[in-house]
Amino acid sequence: MNVLAISGSLRKKSYNTALLRAAQKLAPEMGIEILDYSAVPIFNQDVEESAYPEVVTDIRGKITVADAVLFAVPEFNRTPAGSLKNLIDWLSRPDYKLWNQKPVGIVGASSGPRGASFAQYDVRRIMSYFNARTMGQPEFYCGNDEDGEFDAEMNLVDPKTTDVFKKFLAALSEHIKK
């Protein structure tokens, strides 16, 4: 299996990227690769038409061959972080056919208790527009209200959250196989 994982956060100590690293450890059989899209420019239709970025072409290629895409979505002001929205906008141009029937999993981590629930739903909405095959259940919300989900090295250490996340990944694996 080959799963492309996209963290909506570019910062080093990102809870969302840490979740994806935990997924790599918890489900090695899923072949999870974490995408580096730090070189993707701000979307501008003039740039799209005059000098379509090679980095976006490469990412489109990775999504096309991936068995699934796993998003970890940070929530900024009750919506997905702009860095992720920017990437998704690029990945809808010149068309969003690459998403058609693509299996998708969505998780999210926030520093508050809600686990980026609003932002996760926004990404579900976009994926539905793209006709992707997003897993509906189970959902996974990682709230970090200073109760020790992660250690200082950003390893997922909370046993209950780890167990729930493992179950999410097992369900996603089945969703992809179907």
Ligand X SMILES: Cc1cc2nc3c(=O)[nH]c(=O)nc-3n(C[C@H](O)[C@H](O)[C@H](O)COP(=O)(O)O)c2cc1C
Binding residues for ligand X, per CB under 6 A?
9, 11, 14-16, 74-78, 109-112, 114, 116
CB of 113 to ligand X, least distance (A): 8
Query: In degrees, to the nearest 5, what angle opens at C-alpha 137 toward C-alphas 75 and 102?
Result: 80
Residue placing its CB nearer to ligand X in the complex, 78 or 167: 78
Q: How many CB atoms lie within 10 A of CB 151?
A: 11
CB of 141 to ligand X, least distance (A): 10
Residue placing its CB nearer to ligand X in the complex, 106 or 109: 109
CB of 92 to ligand X, least distance (A): 23
Residue placing its CB nearer to ligand X in the complex, 114 or 175: 114
Residue placing its CB nearer to ligand X in the complex, 41 or 113: 113
Give the dihedral sign, CA 2/101/106/48. Answer: positive
CB of 52 to ligand X, least distance (A): 28
3-state secondary structure of 79: strand
Bridge partners (DSSP) of residue 105 are 70
Helices vs. strands in the chain: H and E counts, helices first:
6, 8
Task: Give, as one character, the DSSP assignment of residue 38.
Answer: T
